[in-house]
Homo-oligomer: A and B are copies of this chain.
Amino acid sequence: MRWVRYEADGAVRYGILEGEDIAEVSGTPFDAYERTAKRRKLAAVKLLVPVVPPTFYAAGINYMDHIIEQAKLTGREPKVPKKADIGYRANNALIAHGEPIVIPKDATEKVHYEGELVVVIGRKAKHLAEKEALSCVLGYTIGNDVSERSWQAEDRTLWRAKNTDTFKPMGPWIETDVRLDDLVTTVRVNGEQKIRFPTNKMLFGVAHYIAAMSRYLTLHPGDMIWMGTDGASPNLKHGDVVEVEISGIGVLRNPVVREA
């Protein structure tokens, strides 16, 4: 099942995607919901980010090739995390499928994509063992963890490197029927494939992260976990179009604009 969140008739709504149509619901996938009689064309609504989370978690470093590529970029030794320490991103930076990534005037040319699997939590959970951890997951969507590498290297935190407005494209929808081992992530710039990797080839997988996190913190409906990315990225420039595809979920497409 695919959950879409959108704006129509001036209100924010959830619906279930069926081909090119949306069956509108009252309520949300995180509470009680009911199908209404209303149907809309997908093409006729404005897609929104599929959820605005209470807490926005991000694994950060979670794939081996990405660690090696980042080490090359910074001239430092590769540092492989020893355990699943979760990090954070910020809601101000979220934009929907189709909306522009806006690079600030004073950013360097080192603005990179990071194509990521996004886990959307469906129910409140604490103290989950790894083998039952996926029971709290509603579904999965796609994120692009856009990063300005010079700010990432220089600032004391990741605030503007990762959380400048528009630096977190996410969508287009939440897919609930996913087999993690089958997923493949592909990133294209202007239609040209730049990278392709097995999505689940993570240092610490989804169930492992959820179990580790939920030992100390309560996961809430709508919380999401961005699972990290593999490999490297070319510099993104004004006029580029970035697509992150995860097989079986969909394609997240965003144009790139540099502030004049």
Instruction: Kindly identify, within residues 125 to 156 of chain A, every residue whose CB is under 8 Å from any CB belonging to chain B.
Output: 126, 155-156
Residue of chain B at shortest CB distance from A90: B55
Q: Across the interface, which residues of B come within 8 angstroms of A239, CB to CB? A: none
Find out whether the CB atom of A164 lies under 8 angstroms from the CB atom of B92.
no
Chain A 79-117, CB-CB to B under 8 Å as 1, else 0, gives 001010111101111000000000010000000000000
A159 interfacial contact with B, CB 8 Å: yes
Closest CB-CB distance, A97 to chain B, in whole Å? 20
| Residues of the B chain whose Cβ atoms lie less than 8 Å from the Cβ of A2 | none
CB-defined contacts of A164 to chain B, threshold 8 Å? 216-217
The answer, among B85, B90, B156, for a CB contact under 8 Å with A157, is B85
State whether B157 touches A86 (Cβ < 8 A): yes
Contacts A54-B92, A91-B55 given: A81-B216 contact, CB under 8 Å?
Answer: no
In the complex, chain A residues 164-223 whose Cβ is within 8 Å of any chain B Cβ = 164-165, 213, 216-220, 223
Set of chain B residues within 8 Å of A126, measured between Cβ atoms = 165
Q: Is A160 an interface residue (CB 8 A)?
A: yes
B residues less than 8 Å from A55 (CB atoms): 90-92
Contact of B156 with A217 in the complex, beta carbons under 8 Å: no
A250 within 8 A of B: no
Q: State in angstroms the CA–CA spacing of A11 and B165 once bound together.
A: 34
| Complex CA distance for A93 and B60, rounded to whole angstroms | 21
Q: In the complex, are the beta carbons of B217 and A90 less than 8 A apart? A: yes
In the complex, whether A163 has a CB less than 8 A from a CB of chain B is yes
Flag if A104 contacts B156 (CB, 8 Å): no
Listed A/B pairs (25) with beta-carbon separation below 8 Å: A54-B92, A57-B90, A61-B156, A81-B156, A83-B155, A83-B156, A85-B155, A85-B156, A85-B157, A86-B157, A87-B157, A87-B159, A88-B88, A88-B90, A88-B157, A88-B159, A91-B220, A92-B217, A93-B217, A126-B165, A159-B213, A160-B216, A164-B216, A165-B216, A165-B218
